Amino acid sequence: MEVTLFRPRLAILAALVLGLVLAPSAARAAAEVHRLNLALSAVPTQVKAGDFNDVVRNYNNTVLAPLGFDPLDKVSFSWMFDAELRYFVTRSLSVNAGVGHLRAKTAKEYLPALASSINVHADLITVPVHLGASYYLQPYNQGDFQARMFVGGGMVQYTHSRVIFEQTLSGADSASTANLGGSFKIEGTNDAPGYYLEGGVHMFFASRYSVMLSAMYRSGEVQGIIEENTAEALVNPISGKPLTLDVSGIGLRLSANIGF
């Protein structure tokens, strides 16, 4: 009986010792907040476009409407993709720098006759480079999860900004395309400064990975668009003023972060 009782007692004692060893490590499990983070973001965003939509509207009124074709849609929405380094200078303040890519376009194909096609597309492209900061509020902790509200903003330089308007005719007869004026491509470019404002929540886990959800407002107007081939200033066909490109908009930022 002594041998029979000894083994269960030994097993219980071993379980107690193992529990005491593992308990401190489990208690130490907490959300990881790394000083340096790489944030990879996708931002569904509004795009105001400005004069760029006046170009589309003028084309609809003067070219497509007389032919009875459906109008080309205006630009109003796009996705912006962004990579950002976020460095915590203090527990509550981070400095942020990154680069993104935004492309908004509208396109349509028309079939005026058998074996004939008219392809029209208008593209708005810009590469925003930003530098800013974010202020973090007091954290909410729950086990190995931490959530922190933050607000931030900074400056943006909209680089490699371009507008492209292209019409391509394929097998089109002159009778059905007399008002189109043949195939053409217009490209304009310029850069401009702007700013952004942001507010949201940063969620940390017991891992090097974290997630950010935020609302972002971008402001930027690229003025004096220059035609790439002729180096002449492009003109708004409706107002007659120099063409400007408004890349402002409100978006929702969805970001996956990697801590280092």
pLDDT tens digits, one per residue of 138-150? 999 998 999 999 9
For residue 169, CA distances in Å to 9, 161, 183 come to 89, 27, 6
Which regions of the chain does DSSP assign to beta strands (E)?
36-46, 49-50, 77-88, 93-110, 117-136, 140-142, 145-170, 184-204, 209-222, 226-227, 245-246, 249-259
Burial class (CB within 10 angstroms; exposed 0-12, middle 13-18, buried 19+) of 19: exposed
Determine the pLDDT at residue 23. Answer: 44
Q: Is the pLDDT of residue 217 over 60?
A: yes
Q: Is the pLDDT of residue 251 over 80?
A: yes
Beta bridge partners of 161: 190
Determine the pLDDT at residue 68. Answer: 87
Determine the pLDDT at residue 172. Answer: 63
Average pLDDT of 59-88? 93
Six-digit token string for 89: 């200078």
Single-letter amino acid code for the residue at 217: Y
Instruction: Report the share of the chain in percent with pLDDT over 90.
Output: 73
Could you count the other beta carbons within 10 Å of the beta carbon of residue 38? 16
Determine the pLDDT at residue 175. Answer: 56
Q: What does the pLDDT look like over 13-36, one tens digit per residue?
A: 454 444 444 444 444 568 899 999
Closest by Cα among 108, 113, 136, 131 to 200: 136
Plot region of 49 (φ>0 → left; ψ -120 to 50 → alpha; else → beta): left
Determine the pLDDT at residue 104. Answer: 94
Single-letter amino acid code for the residue at 15: A
What predicted TM-score, i.e. pTM, was given to this entire model?
0.83
Determine the pLDDT at residue 43. Answer: 97
Residues 82, 191: Cα–Cα separation, whole Å: 18
Mean pLDDT of the chain: 88
Q: Is the pLDDT of residue 205 over 60?
A: yes
